[in-house]
């Protein structure tokens, strides 16, 4: 194994939905930034995971997340040659916001190019194993094929999705004994929907369940939507992996295996039993199963369900968290809880990104300090991206001022993000 040493101002653990935005924001401020990403591309759930629907950039009447996330989204559409329909021409029927699809290869590549243009360093295929404090710096040890890397940094942003950095340090975390199901994304194409009748396919699905040809979770939303919905979506985002825990390699392996088994069962059932699906093709399968919920870090403030549903205002609020509670489960498939008014826009306090009794480390994405029900709303992709821009700004300001990121005033963080195009609060 080759041993490598690297010195940077900031190390971002995880280049996923939140992490790649954090790294771009910090690097654009002239902060030497390293991204340690276990996968092979930036964007995480949105790209490598196949949930290519970031939500929500806009509420029904205003933008809620802009800045670097919106910049990358716009650039990806320019390259694809697809105009972005103005939000006032959209009709938010199913949710109070708008899903906005991305082209995965294009988005992942322009995110990578933006990071490299800002002179950040990327390490793919690498995972963090040890983190310790040495004086006023961090020593981060990461491992990849043929390399053991020791990175010395002044600040850490943990965007790993499973609190890899926070757990390595020994910070306080929590994990619910029963978590939201995971999923494996795939796509079935070439179904002739003119031949598909809702009542017939529903009866065929229910019969397959009774006979054991399909298993519970193969169709995630069995008590929420009719089976026709799965065919219309081509199977995308339609599988539940119960007990999914991707916080270590064994759990990820188990989720991958069970997710692929469910995918193949469903494809064979659809092709062999559904009229109009005889020529169906299993066209796409994404690389890894995804977890909706794992470890959450205990922070200086824990966002509660009541705060989220009341769109509580905080003295240190730093970004919007516009979404509904989308709590996937084994009993009904999914519980969706909407705010009393579409004009209610929850916020995120800076304290919820600061692990309790810590310094020089921030946590973002689905490991944010919150209760598990509010997390089902906070984990939306645009919210995670907004958190990323906030954390990148806070780390950059702390490094420039020679103070810990936790000491940076929230108003200064917001102003820097606004300078980079974010929505003023």
Q: How confident is the model at residue 94 (pLDDT cuts 50, 70, 90)?
A: confident
Please name the residues in contact with 41: beta carbons below 8 A apart, sequence gap of 6 or more: 47, 48, 108, 112, 124
263 compared with 99, residue with greater pLDDT: 263
* Distance, CA of 58 to CA of 343 (rounded, Å): 11
Assess whether pLDDT exceeds 90 at residue 314. Answer: yes
Cα–Cα nearest to 69, from 122, 21, 116, 19:
21
Q: How confident is the model at residue 313 (pLDDT cuts 50, 70, 90)?
A: very high
Mean pLDDT score, 185-189 = 98
**354-381 mean pLDDT:** 97
Q: Mean of the pLDDT values across residues 127-143?
A: 97
pLDDT recorded at residue 93: 83
Q: Give me the mean pLDDT over the 120-144 stretch.
A: 97
Determine the Cα–Cα distance for residues 80 and 86; give it in Å rounded to an integer.
Answer: 17
User: What percent of the chain clears pLDDT 90, i.e. is strictly above it?
Assistant: 97
Which pLDDT does position 340 carry in this prediction? Answer: 95
Q: How confident is the model at residue 390 (pLDDT cuts 50, 70, 90)?
A: very high
> Is residue 144 within 8 Å of 127, Cβ to Cβ?
yes
Q: What is the CA radius of gyration of the chain?
A: 21
Q: What is the pLDDT of residues 210-224, one digit of tens each?
A: 999 999 999 999 999
Lowest model confidence (mean pLDDT) among 91-100, 226-235, 258-267: 91-100
| Cα 411 to Cα 381: distance, rounded to the nearest angstrom | 23
Q: Which domains does the chain have, with CATH numbers?
A: 2-175+295-419 (3.50.50.60), 186-285 (no CATH)
- Return d(Cα 347, Cα 313) in angstroms, integer: 7
Q: What is the per-residue pLDDT for 269?
A: 98
Over range 116-121, report the average pLDDT. Answer: 98
Is 90 exceeded by the pLDDT of residue 394? yes
221-256: burial string, b at 16+ Cβ within 10 Å, e else: bbeebbbbebbeebbbbbbbbbebbbbeeebbebbb
Q: pLDDT tens digits for 44-92?
A: 999 999 999 999 999 999 999 999 999 999 999 999 999 999 998 998 8
* Full-model pTM: 0.97
**Mean of all residue pLDDT scores within the chain:** 97
Mean pLDDT score, 396-406: 98
- The mean pLDDT of 164-189, rounded to a whole number, is 96
């Amino acid at each position: 194994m080759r041993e490598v040493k690297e010195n940077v101002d900031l190390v971002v653990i995880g280049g996923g939905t939140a992490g790649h935005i954090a790294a771009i924001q910090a690097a654009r401020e002239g902060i030497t930034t390293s991204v340690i990403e276990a996968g092979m591309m930036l964007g995480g759930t949105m790209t490598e995971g196949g949930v290519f629907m970031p939500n929500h950039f806009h509420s029904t009447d205003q933008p809620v997340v802009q800045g670097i996330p919106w910049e990358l989204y716009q650039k990806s559409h320019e390259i694809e040659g697809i105009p972005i329909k103005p939000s006032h021409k959209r009709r938010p029927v199913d949710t109070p916001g708008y899903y906005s699809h991305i082209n995965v290869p294009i988005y992942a590549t322009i995110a990578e190019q933006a990071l490299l243009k800002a002179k950040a360093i990327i390490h793919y295929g690498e995972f963090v194993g040890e983190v310790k404090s040495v004086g006023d710096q961090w020593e981060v040890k990461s491992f990849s094929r043929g390399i053991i890397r020791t990175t010395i940094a002044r600040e850490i942003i943990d965007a790993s999705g499973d609190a890899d950095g926070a757990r390595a340090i020994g910070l306080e975390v929590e994990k619910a004994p029963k978590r939201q199901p995971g999923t494996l994304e795939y796509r079935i194409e070439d179904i002739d929907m003119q031949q598909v009748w809702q009542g017939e396919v529903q009866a065929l699905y229910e019969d397959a369940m009774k006979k054991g040809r399909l298993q519970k979770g193969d169709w995630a939303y069995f008590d929420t939507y009719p089976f026709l919905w799965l065919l219309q979506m081509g199977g995308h985002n339609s599988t539940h992996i119960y007990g999914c825990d991707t916080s270590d390699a064994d759990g990820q392996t188990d989720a991958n295996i069970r997710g692929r088994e469910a995918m193949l069962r469903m494809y064979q059932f659809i092709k062999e039993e559904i009229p109009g699906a005889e020529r169906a093709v299993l066209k796409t399968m994404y690389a890894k199963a995804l977890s909706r919920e794992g470890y959450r870090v205990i922070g200086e403030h824990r966002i509660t369900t009541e705060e989220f549903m009341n769109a509580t205002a905080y003295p240190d609020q730093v970004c919007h968290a516009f979404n509904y509670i989308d709590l996937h489960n084994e009993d009904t498939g999914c519980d969706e809880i909407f705010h009393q008014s579409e004009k209610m826009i929850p916020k995120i306090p800076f304290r919820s990104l600061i692990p309790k009794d810590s310094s020089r480390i921030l946590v973002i994405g689905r490991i944010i300090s919150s209760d598990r029900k509010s997390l089902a709303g906070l984990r939306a992709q645009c919210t995670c991206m907004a958190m990323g821009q906030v954390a990148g700004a806070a780390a950059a300001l702390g490094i420039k001022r020679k103070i810990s990121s936790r000491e940076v005033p929230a108003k200064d963080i917001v102003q820097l993000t606004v300078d980079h195009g974010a929505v003023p609060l």
